[in-house]
Amino acid sequence: MKRLIMPVAAALILSSIALARSQAPASGQAAPTSGAAAATATLRADRPGPVVNRNVYGHFAEHLGRGIYEGIWVGPSSPIPNTRGIRHDVLAALKQLNVPVLRWPGGCFADEYHWKDGIGPREKRPSMINTHWGGVVEDNSFGTHEFMDLVEQLGTDAYITGNVGSGTPQEMMEWVEYLTSDAVSPMANLRRQNGREQPWRVPYFGLGNEPWGCGGNMRPEYYADEYRKYNTFIKNYDRAKPIYRIAGGANDFNYAWTEVLMERVGRRMNAASLHYYTLPTGNWNRKGSATQFGEDQWFSTLSRTLRMDELITKHAAIMDKADPEKRIGLAIDEWGTWYDVEPGTQPGFLYQQSTMRDALVAALNFHIFHRHASRVVMTNIAQTINVLQAMILTDKEKMLRTPTYWVYEMFKVHQGGTFLPVDLQSPDYAFGAERIPAVSASATRSADGKAVHLSLTNATPGQTIPITVTLAGIAPASASARLLTAPAMQAHNTFAAPDTVKPVPFEGLRLAAGTLTLTLPAKSVVVVELR
């Protein structure tokens, strides 16, 4: 997690035109607005690209606020239904997303976490102070065994971030042995003593988090040397499935960091991380409200999130110089929106609501990640539950799915699909002197080859947009779609009204003569399936 102050970007010129709001009917059929600018596109199924790594749809759960405790973990004695302390409702909701990989235990927390404090009988585990997030007591009741139990119950892969900032190479080496070794050895025997006979599979391991900041305030040259040292002691106990090592990469626009990593670490890493958060204001001291905003911050949020494309392009260009074969991946293992915390909540817990604006942010970023599928191997939104741009919010026994959750649910059809280029001509969405594309699109062919999925967004908050898509290299017999939209930009789900923003069938499709036509409702996300 990031704890830096960034410069305020140039202020947007406010529009004097009042926002006209529109709402799609419950059926998902939207009537075109008179005079609406149209978009056109060609879906190039005849020019397939790389596979979209399913790990692009990864998640992140840090020991932060109510992300772990109350969110995932309630303990075996809780009246909230659970299996060995893990909430049933949350687990069931996450299973719907086909979560491919889950990052833990941090974030900034990772570099003050000592794993041996989180094993053995819970009543004997020592407590610590979570110095980064609220200064609260961390009792270590959720540790290695609990996390790996969660991973197994969820049917996902583990991505563990090791402690480089305040830990030692020996500590990290022993953790990897504890987790993955089936030998008769001190750490493997300790695992057995604590109730786990067989080793776990840990496919992904991160060597520190944000070493340029909360992970040690290191220079890139220093971190590169630390990486090389720590990496030496991460052993592959299963040589047939070596651990995929992820280096602590750059803070958004710090391209020099990537240059040093590529030069001094190179193939010793399998991937380098990249962190980028979207703030409406660009000001870390006053980021903006999650729910109380006008079109100025709607537009600035979408505009700023689109800079993810610039970031990936420039970092990838640096990587390409040293690694033209693209053997080293880019793992964007922290991304999403970051607002001022909800009024009345603990500032260090980073609890915020998720609106229709966040749904657009998620969809736009996925389209960017798809375009860079040859280099982007994983992303992990911050975070899964009750923290920042969460999938799920909980309040004691209550749980709700956010608009961001529904984008993940709609877009899971892209996981592992083959990228298909979409040549798009979009009208502009103008606000004052600024402009961004009004429409975004991305397409993939499913791994089984039976379907093509086309996802579309309309960023404008009050304008429907007709679009005609020419289908090249595909002649589908049927088309169906789902729609996510809402009557207001600020629309969000609450515990009193948990289904305010939820997908509905979209009936406004016409498939004929090799073309697909539809009208995108204002502020909408649409996923089309062609068979």
Q: Is 197 a catalytic residue?
A: no
What token pair was written down for 485? 């939209």
CA distance 166 to 172: 11
Of 62, 138, 174, 210, the catalytic one is 210
CA distance 148 to 125: 18
First and final C-alpha spacing in the chain: 41
339, 390 in Cβ contact below 8 A? no
Buried b (16+ CB within 10 A) or exposed e, 56-71: bbbbbbbbbbbbbbbb
Is position 226 annotated as part of the catalytic site?
A: no
Beta strand 128-129 with 418-420 is: unpaired
Q: How far apart are CA 65 and CA 271, in angstroms?
A: 29
Per DSSP, the residues of 252-319 read TT-HHHHHHHHHHTGGG-SEEEEEEEE-SSS-TTS---SSS--HHHHHHHHHHHTHHHHHHHHHHHHH
DSSP count for the chain of H helices, then E strands: 10, 27
* 386 within 8 A of 67, measured Cβ to Cβ: yes
Q: Which amino acid is at 182?
A: D
**Cβ-based neighbours of 449, under 8 Å, separated by 6 or more:** none
H or E element in which residue 480 lies: strand 479-484
Yes or no: say if 458 and 24 are a contact pair by the CB < 8 Å rule: no
Structure tokens at 229: 């040292």
The H or E element spanning position 248 is strand 244-251
Instruction: List C-alpha distances in Å: 81 to 59, 89, 240, 390, 397.
Output: 23, 8, 39, 21, 9
Angle at 74 between CA 359 and CA 146, to 5 degrees: 90
Encoding tokens for residue 163? Answer: 């402690």
- Active-site positions read 210, 334
